[in-house]
Amino acid sequence: MAKSLRPARLALHVYGVLVGLFLLLPTLVVVPLSFTGRRSLAFPPIGFSTQWYRNFFTDPDWFNSAVFSLKIALLVTVFATTLGTLAAVALTLGRARWKAAARGLLIAPMIVPGVITAIGIFYVFLRLGLTQNLWGFVFAHSVLAIPIVVVTVSASLSSFDRQLLRASASLGAGPLASLIQVMLPIIAPGVLSGALFAFLTSFDEAIVSLFLAGPFSRTLPIQIYQSVTAEIDPTIAAASTMLLGITTLCVVAAALVLARRDRRYS
Amino acid sequence: MTHGIDLEITGLTKRYGNATALDGVDLHIAAGEFMTLLGPSGSGKTTTLNIVAGFVEPDAGTVRLGDELLIGVPTYRREIGVVFQHYALFPHMRVAANVGFPLRQRHLPKAEIARKVGEILEIVGLSDLANRYPRELSGGQQQRVALARALVFGPKLLLLDEPLGALDKRLREGLQLEIKRIHRELGVTFVFVTHDQDEALVMSDRIAVFNDGRIEQVAAAHELYQKPSSLFAAQFLGDSNVFEGAVGGSGIDVTILADGLTLKAPVAAGAHGGRVALVIRPEKMRIDPHGHAVGSDSNALVGTITDVVYMGSRSRLLVATDDGRSIMADRMVPSTEFAIDDKVVVSWSAEDATVVDGGMPTTGLGK
């Protein structure tokens, strides 16, 4: 049986690899470019040097924007993970009638086109004085990251055995003690992967950031965008490569965490 | 030596939409008693348990534990142990941590927690497994951990919700005896929910038979079996032959008229005319060869054997009577005297029949 299917399977594998390459290659082009020996972004790259990475860490424009992005992303991770997890718990365990509506509202930022969200946030934040400001970025990115945490944590709660909460209550644990000692440890992998995705959402967010950015408040994606339009400097490729690396790391880490959970309680 | 506490349930009522789960349930459970709530699924036994545990709020009625009224008290302040059908052990904690959990909630010193956990694990026979995770234990072991965890903090009442339902037959029988032993040793009041009649008979001091949101009868196991107060109770607990009819005649020779049959039965005075059902257990039925004379205080029917079922310690004969009824009769010795197609006389002594109020039960016929 399996043998007669071989040509078909081989064709499928080849097709899969081709699709993968089609999706990945344009992105991966930045990796060799970042090691170019020339001052231009010519492909294929000529020579080899790490000067563009050195430049990234010494040029204040690049380095400051990276630090700024990192600060925002870490704060967003804390806010979005806390609020998103609590929201997911309430939406899953609560008995309120407006649960479905509340879930819809919380997930909305994932569905509404980014530009529209960005314009909305821009006008409101302009009045509140939250543009060109660290906290403006943190709040705006949190709005975008919370839905992702809600979705990840909800998924992990859907397989959570609620009888455990009845058990812990019967054993004398109040609601808070049950949440901390029983529920959170069990859904921790879901919360952790939610946190990683929240970090990512903020770290590579570009549309809203474009509206909120100012000369002294640029996130890394904005710095990349602006230097592409202004100058063609291979530092862009170095920055992009590092952004790609961090992103990939987060996604792989989240996948590993979730896979571990699946093994753990089965 | 009793450490238990009495539980008084009055007028408990619970509705889900239009469905009535509980319809005015009254039940008193004595301190240290082993009470089983028995009934088919949807009969209200689990709802009653959930209300006592505080998982569900009743629409009406009260629950009193000792001197304390429980309605409105959250579960975590009730001091009642609960054992669940699917164990509900915390998967991220080892056995010792699971059992120590209720003690940590009560902020006991570490040394005392360790001592109490050790003691209770000894009682359930799991001292060697204290460092295992629940997933590394068998179903029976997990349920014993759950039992230890529900008892370690010294509750005076333990609720068990079909705790053996997920286990295979042999394991179930072993654990039944073990739960009984623990009940005797600790003297805690046990309320045990099951739909398994044999389990109820083996374990309980008393059994409350639930049907359709009400209690049909509360009685000791042998009384329930020998003197059921309703057709439902009779059919749910054990097998029975049933004749439906009305009370007729008068004086001492009170009889039951069941579609053309006149049967002698012990009917209470003044029951004349009411619809009743006559219940006779299969082991009370006599079988004799056709033509055998029957005493004047007995009822007799003539029929043909349709099947002989070997059941280990006894045999069950199925008889089709000439007027078209099917009768079950048990013989304690594996029987070779009778074979299929033999003509026989089925008879029973009038006093071995139980008369209950008539009409078919609405739900959950026994097997």
CATH code, domain with B323: 2.40.50.140
pLDDT in tens, A48-78: 888 889 999 998 889 999 999 999 999 999 9
Say how many residues make up chain B: 367
pLDDT range class, residue B258, cuts 50, 70, 90: low
Residue B356 inside a domain? The answer is yes
DSSP letter string, A79-128:
HHHHHHHHHHHHHHH---TTHHHHHHHHHHHHHS-HHHHHHHHHHHHHHH
- Kindly state the percentage of chain B with pLDDT values over 90: 55
In A, residues 184-223, which contact B (CB 8 Å cutoff)? 185-186
Q: Which residue, of B176, B191, B226, is where some domain finishes?
A: B226
| Predicted local distance difference test score (pLDDT) of residue B36 | 95
Range of lowest pLDDT (A14-28, A29-43, B263-277): B263-277
pLDDT above 80 (res A204):
yes
- pLDDT (average), residues B241-246: 83
Closest residue, chain B, to A163 (C-alpha): B88
Taking CB atoms and an 8 Å cutoff, what residues of chain A touch B92?
185-186
Which residue range(s) make up the domain with B351? 239-366
pLDDT range class, residue A5, cuts 50, 70, 90: low
Q: Number of folded domains in chain A?
A: 1
- pLDDT (average), residues A169-193: 93
What is the distance between the alpha carbons of residues A204 and A35, in angstroms, rounded to a whole number? Answer: 22
Partner-chain contact B101 A166, CB within 8 Å: no
Answer yes or no: do B218 and B292 share one domain. no
| Predicted local distance difference test score (pLDDT) of residue A181 | 95
Q: Check if B80 contacts A (Cβ < 8 Å).
A: yes
Answer yes or no: do B250 and B344 share one domain. yes
User: B288: helix, coil or strand?
Assistant: strand
Q: Which two tokens stand for residue B278?
A: 């006559």
Answer yes or no: do B265 and B169 share one domain. no
- pLDDT (average), residues A231-246: 86
In sign, the C-alpha dihedral spanning B86, B87, B91, B92 is positive
β-pairing, B68-69 with B60-65? antiparallel
Q: What stretches of A118-257 adopt beta strand conformation (E)?
A: none
What is the distance between the alpha carbons of residues B255 and A36, in angstroms, rounded to a whole number? Answer: 110
Which residue range(s) make up the domain with A220? 61-265
Residue A248 inside a domain? The answer is yes
Query: If we measure between CA atoms, which residue out of B176, B83, B178 comes closest to residue B126?
Result: B178
Confirm if B63 and B51 have CB atoms less than 8 A apart: yes
Answer yes or no: do B180 and B308 share one domain. no
B295 φ, ψ (degrees, to nearest 5) = -60, 160
Answer yes or no: do B159 and B270 share one domain. no
What is the distance between the alpha carbons of residues A116 and B168, in angstroms, rounded to a whole number? Answer: 60
Residue A197 inside a domain? The answer is yes
Q: What stretches of chain B adopt beta strand conformation (E)?
A: 7-16, 19-29, 34-38, 60-65, 68-69, 81-83, 157-161, 189-194, 206-211, 214-220, 241-248, 255-258, 261-264, 275-280, 286-289, 298-310, 315-321, 326-331, 343-349, 354-357
Partner-chain contact B75 A181, CB within 8 Å: no
Taking CB atoms and an 8 Å cutoff, what residues of chain B touch A170?
53-54, 75-76, 78, 80-82, 150
| Predicted local distance difference test score (pLDDT) of residue B313 | 79
Residue A45 inside a domain? The answer is no
Residue A127 inside a domain? The answer is yes
Answer yes or no: do B98 and B221 share one domain. yes
Answer yes or no: do B49 and B183 share one domain. yes
Confirm if B116 and B103 have CB atoms less than 8 A apart: yes
User: B354: helix, coil or strand?
Assistant: strand
Range of lowest pLDDT (A94-108, A145-159, A183-197, B53-67): A94-108
Q: Check if A265 contacts B (Cβ < 8 Å).
A: yes
Say how many residues make up chain A: 266
- Side chain identity at B327, as an amino acid letter? I
Answer yes or no: do B260 and B184 share one domain. no
ipTM of this complex prediction, to 2 decimal places: 0.82
pLDDT range class, residue B116, cuts 50, 70, 90: very high
User: B230: helix, coil or strand?
Assistant: strand
Range of lowest pLDDT (A198-207, B171-180, B292-301): B292-301
- pLDDT (average), residues A1-18: 81
Answer yes or no: do B144 and B257 share one domain. no
pLDDT in tens, A88-121: 999 988 877 888 898 898 888 888 998 999 999 9
Answer yes or no: do B343 and B253 share one domain. yes
Q: What is the three-state SS of A137-159?
A: HHHHHHHHHHHHHHHHHHHHHHC
Task: Give the side-chain half-sphere CA count within 13 A for A17.
Answer: 5
pLDDT above 60 (res B365):
no
What is the distance between the alpha carbons of residues B43 and B348, in angstroms, rounded to a whole number? Answer: 33
- pLDDT (average), residues B265-270: 66
- pLDDT (average), residues B25-29: 95
What is the distance between the alpha carbons of residues A188 and A183, in angstroms, rounded to a whole number? Answer: 8
pLDDT range class, residue A264, cuts 50, 70, 90: low
Confirm if A209 and A221 have CB atoms less than 8 A apart: yes
First to last CA, chain A: 32
CATH code of residue A140 = 1.10.3720.10
Most confident of A3-7, A229-233, B130-134: B130-134
The shortest C-alpha distance from B171 to chain A (Å) reads 23
Answer yes or no: do B87 and B214 share one domain. yes
- Kindly state the percentage of chain A with pLDDT values over 70: 96
- pLDDT (average), residues A13-29: 91
Query: If we measure between CA atoms, which residue out of A200, A188, A141 comes closest to residue A160?
Result: A188
Average pLDDT along chain B: 87
Taking CB atoms and an 8 Å cutoff, what residues of chain A touch B77?
172
Residue A177 inside a domain? The answer is yes
Query: If we measure between CA atoms, which residue out of A214, A249, A227 comes closest to residue A55?
Result: A227
Answer yes or no: do B196 and B291 share one domain. no
Interface test with A, best of B103, B105, B117 (most A CBs within 10 A): B105
Long-range Cβ contacts of A120-127 (<8 Å, 24+ apart): A121/A208, A121/A211, A121/A212, A122/A208, A122/A211, A122/A212, A125/A212
- pLDDT (average), residues B321-349: 85
What is the distance between the alpha carbons of residues A38 and A106, in angstroms, rounded to a whole number? Answer: 48
A71 membership: H or E segment, kind and range: helix A60-93
In A, residues 130-189, which contact B (CB 8 Å cutoff)? 161, 163-164, 166-174, 177, 181-182, 185-186
Q: Which two tokens stand for residue B92?
A: 């991220």
For A107: left if phi > 0, alpha if psi spans -120 to 50, otherwise beta; the answer is: alpha
Q: Number of folded domains in chain B?
A: 2
pLDDT range class, residue B2, cuts 50, 70, 90: low
Angle at B37 (CA atoms; ends B36, B43), nearest 5 degrees: 165
Task: Give the side-chain half-sphere CA count within 13 A for A142.
Answer: 20
| Predicted local distance difference test score (pLDDT) of residue B361 | 43
- Kindly state the percentage of chain B with pLDDT values over 70: 90
CB atoms within 10 A of CB A60: 8
CB atoms within 10 A of CB B1: 7
Closest residue, chain A, to B55 (C-alpha): A166
Q: Which two tokens stand for residue B185?
A: 């040793």
